[in-house]
């Protein structure tokens, strides 16, 4: 038997398009801009200080599915049910879920074409105005940095239950993983998310079986929690208040776009991850809230206690397993909850450090934060995020409940402002794309139903914003503290935006605020250059055909043996595509 000398292992075809894309990825953050403040603030363009594209598609997929699920769903979701009833909480999560899915779709279109670490902050600066990018970047960095204390507080409580002497030491392994390499983050998130996926699926199955009376000796409540006027509690004002819990729970879905800056095949991985977000919304939020609402009455004190004190023993997951007769599973649930908190903290460090890194690369933050080590880790930005995490000490000084609520409001409304701004950026991106005469076929991924999706994002953001304000004003008894807590994120947003506009006007001497459509940069960091789309898609199809038609040497020899000695009817179908030039 002689096998031909033609190569058996398929190789990806190389072309100028592929080479240009690879070359384009050597630099991530765009061309040089004029320095802002001399010395301290300036752009960083050296290729020696850039992040590495080391995350694979499966990492990005798991980050999209469950990478940022943490205390928002495991602890705070019960508070939404206790506040407004199970049906109100479920409806608010559905509304915010639809809103968030539209945000991810519109953002995915831009991130697949321009995979940069700053994501929407970079897009805001390039497609709308530098002031918007500056505002979104710092707002997002603060959002993630302030979420670290709440996650660490929950981790400390869990560890005190499992290992009493250990407290906030949990931050050490998470921080060390971030320092080593981005691949460590991707791999750890892959397994953390996998554990959370399995846990939530088991919770939904056990919870529904318990609710329907399927556990002997443990009668479930059935539909009683949704009957007798218990589905909606407190009217529209209470319903509107539940949105902040939904914002907090969904926070981080946009992290896929940030991680695209370190993905090895972003033009393929981002669209796939974006589409997977739908299953995350339905499975991890809608079905989970429904299960909690069915199994635990809205008046149950454990629901509110879980959110106000981060009491892990009062977590809806723990309570449902206990009431279903799985008391021995409590420690396992606690371990999984700890994994979820570790994962959320891991993502918080990643998101905050990468956004600060991107701001420094654009000259909108001190340039020291744009430095990376040889592994592409932005160490100064990471340490700055760590410094902000020491706000966790406030939870021990002023009481966990008060600080947790304030952090919840700040990060929740900040997420809403970021998501609404993404809709505006998407609209201007498409207008600029058309104004410069570019075909949509040059985009690796195009959002469906344009312009309805980005317009819907902006409109929904405004409506949700109004609903939040209404709930704060109408809540009885009236409290000025509640109003301030609701709008504190808006104040920060406005101060950042107006401050940067004033800086541009009086320091840089710029009179034009918006970037002119014909001057919008659609070349820097582009995954595909103009006209490469058709050629690259043909290469992808050709590569798929080669993989199908050219098996490895071992597979070829096994195919020949099976053809000579067929065992099953399927093996008797000896296809010519399974043989590579064989002579006997």
**With bands split at pLDDT 50, 70 and 90, how would you rate the model's confidence at 452?**
very high
CB-count burial class (<10 Å; 0-12, 13-18, 19+) for 275: middle
User: pLDDT by residue (tens digit) across 475-528?
Assistant: 767 777 777 777 878 888 999 999 999 998 888 888 778 999 999 999 888 887
The CATH number linked to 284 is: 1.20.1740.10
Residue 271 located in a structural domain: yes
Which run of H or E residues covers position 139?
A: helix 130-162
3-state secondary structure of 453: helix
User: pLDDT by residue (tens digit) across 228-245?
Assistant: 888 888 888 888 888 878
Res 429 pLDDT > 90 = yes
Share of the chain above pLDDT 90, in %: 19
Contacts of 540 (CB under 8 A, 6+ apart): none
User: pLDDT by residue (tens digit) across 119-178?
Assistant: 899 999 999 999 999 999 999 998 888 777 777 766 766 776 666 666 567 778 888 888
Give the DSSP letter of residue 505.
I
**With bands split at pLDDT 50, 70 and 90, how would you rate the model's confidence at 457?**
very high
The more confident residue out of 297 and 61 is: 297
Q: What angle do CA 436, 15, 523 make, to 5 degrees?
A: 25
* 423, 106 contact by CB (below 8 A): yes
* 359, 136 contact by CB (below 8 A): no
Range(s) of the domain holding residue 257:
28-524
Q: Long-range pairs for 3-6 at CB < 8 Å and ≥24 separation?
A: 3/553, 3/556, 3/557, 3/580, 3/581, 3/582, 4/580, 4/581, 4/582, 6/580, 6/581
Res 329 pLDDT > 80 = no
| C-alpha span between 225 and 219 (Å, rounded) | 14
Residue 572 located in a structural domain: no
Residue 286 located in a structural domain: yes
- pLDDT at residue 410, rounded to an integer: 67
User: pLDDT by residue (tens digit) across 551-580?
Assistant: 454 455 445 444 444 444 444 444 444 433
3-state secondary structure of 31: coil
Using CA atoms of 77, 79, 84, 86 in order, give the dihedral in degrees to the nearest 10. 50
- pLDDT at residue 547, rounded to an integer: 46
Q: Which two tokens stand for residue 347?
A: 């993502």
| C-alpha span between 69 and 78 (Å, rounded) | 15
pTM summary value: 0.78
**DSSP characters over 377-414:** --HHHHHHHHHHGGGHHHHHHS-HHHHHHHHHHHHHHH
3-state secondary structure of 2: strand
SS3 content of the chain, % helix, strand, coil (to 5): 70, 0, 30
Q: How many CA atoms lie within 13 A of 458 on its CB side?
A: 12
- Other beta carbons less than 10 A from residue 40's beta carbon: 11
Residue 552 located in a structural domain: no
| C-alpha span between 164 and 535 (Å, rounded) | 60
Residue 243 located in a structural domain: yes
For residues 14-21, average pLDDT = 40
Q: Which residue in 424, 461, 422, 429 sits closest to 446, CA to CA? A: 429
- pLDDT at residue 9, rounded to an integer: 35
**Length of the chain, in residues:** 584
Res 348 pLDDT > 90 = no
**DSSP characters over 321-365:** HHHTT-GGGHHHHHHHHHHHHHHHHHHHHHHHHHHHHHHHHTTSS
Angle, to 10 degrees, between the axis of helix 266-280 and the axis of helix 86-113?
Answer: 170
Tokens 């000398």 found at: 5
Q: Which two tokens stand for residue 35?
A: 């320095």
Residue 461 located in a structural domain: yes
| C-alpha span between 67 and 273 (Å, rounded) | 12
Contacts of 447 (CB under 8 A, 6+ apart): 105, 106, 108, 109, 426, 453, 454
- pLDDT at residue 360, rounded to an integer: 92
What's the chain's average pLDDT? Answer: 76
How many domains is the chain built from? 1
* 108, 445 contact by CB (below 8 A): yes
Contacts of 245 (CB under 8 A, 6+ apart): 72, 76, 77, 79, 80, 83, 89, 92, 307, 408, 412
Q: Which two tokens stand for residue 452?
A: 């309805």
Alpha carbon 501 to its chain centroid, in Å, reads 29
């Amino acid at each position: 038997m002689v096998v031909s000398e033609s190569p058996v292992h398929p190789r990806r075809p190389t072309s100028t398009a592929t080479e240009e894309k690879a070359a384009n990825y050597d630099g991530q953050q765009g061309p040089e801009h004029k320095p802002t403040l001399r010395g301290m603030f300036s752009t960083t363009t050296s290729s020696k200080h850039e992040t590495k594209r080391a995350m694979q598609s499966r990492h990005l997929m798991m980050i999209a599915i469950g990478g940022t699920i943490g205390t928002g769903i495991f602890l705070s979701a019960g508070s939404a049910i206790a506040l407004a009833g199970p049906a109100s909480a479920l409806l608010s999560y559905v509304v915010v879920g639809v809103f968030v899915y539209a945000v991810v779709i519109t953002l995915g279109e831009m991130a697949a074409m321009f995979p940069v670490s700053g994501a929407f902050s970079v897009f805001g600066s390039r497609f709308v105005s530098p002031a918007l990018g500056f505002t979104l970047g710092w707002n997002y960095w603060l959002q993630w940095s302030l979420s670290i204390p709440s996650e660490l507080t929950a981790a400390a409580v869990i560890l005190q239950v499992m290992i009493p002497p250990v407290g906030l030491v949990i931050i050490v392994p998470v921080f060390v993983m971030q320092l080593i390499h981005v691949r460590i983050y991707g791999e750890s998130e892959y397994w953390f998310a996998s554990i959370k996926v399995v846990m939530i699926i088991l919770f939904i199955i056990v919870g529904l079986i318990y609710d329907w009376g399927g556990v002997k000796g443990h009668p479930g409540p059935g539909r009683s929690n949704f009957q007798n006027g218990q589905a909606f509690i407190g009217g529209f004002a209470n319903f509107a208040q539940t949105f902040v819990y939904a914002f907090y729970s969904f926070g981080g879905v946009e992290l896929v776009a940030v991680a695209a800056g370190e993905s090895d095949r972003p033009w393929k991985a981002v669209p796939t991850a974006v589409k997977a977000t739908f299953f995350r919304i339905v499975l991890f939020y809608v079905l989970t809230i429904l299960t909690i609402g069915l199994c635990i009455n809205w008046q149950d004190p454990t629901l509110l206690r879980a959110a106000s004190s981060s009491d892990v023993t009062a977590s809806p997951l723990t309570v449902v397993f206990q009431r279903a007769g799985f008391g021995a599973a409590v420690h396992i649930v606690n371990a999984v909850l700890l994994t979820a908190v570790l994962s959320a903290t891991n993502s918080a460090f990643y998101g905050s450090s990468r956004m600060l890194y991107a701001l420094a690369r654009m000259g909108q933050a001190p340039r020291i934060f744009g430095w990376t080590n040889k592994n592409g880790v932005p160490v100064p930005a990471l340490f700055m995020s760590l410094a902000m995490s020491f706000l966790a000490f406030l939870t021990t000084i002023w009481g966990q409940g008060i600080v947790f609520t304030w952090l919840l409001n700040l990060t929740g409304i900040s997420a809403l402002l970021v998501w609404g701004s993404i809709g505006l950026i998407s609209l201007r991106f498409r207008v600029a794309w058309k104004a410069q005469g570019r075909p949509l076929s040059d985009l690796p991924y195009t959002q469906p139903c344009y312009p309805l999706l980005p317009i819907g994002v902006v409109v929904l953001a405004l409506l949700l914003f109004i609903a939040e304000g209404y709930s704060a004003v109408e809540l009885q008894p009236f409290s000025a503290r509640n109003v301030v807590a609701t709008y504190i994120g808006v104040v920060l947003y406005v101060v950042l935006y107006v401050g940067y506009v004033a800086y541009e006007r009086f320091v840089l001497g710029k009179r034009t605020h918006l970037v002119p459509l014909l001057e919008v940069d659609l070349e820097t960091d582009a995954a595909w250059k103009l006209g490469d789309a058709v050629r690259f898609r043909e290469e992808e199809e050709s590569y798929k055909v080669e993989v199908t038609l050219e098996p490895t040497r071992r597979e070829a020899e096994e195919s020949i043996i099976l053809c000579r000695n067929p065992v099953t009817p399927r093996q008797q179908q000896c296809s010519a595509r399974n043989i590579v030039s064989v002579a006997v």
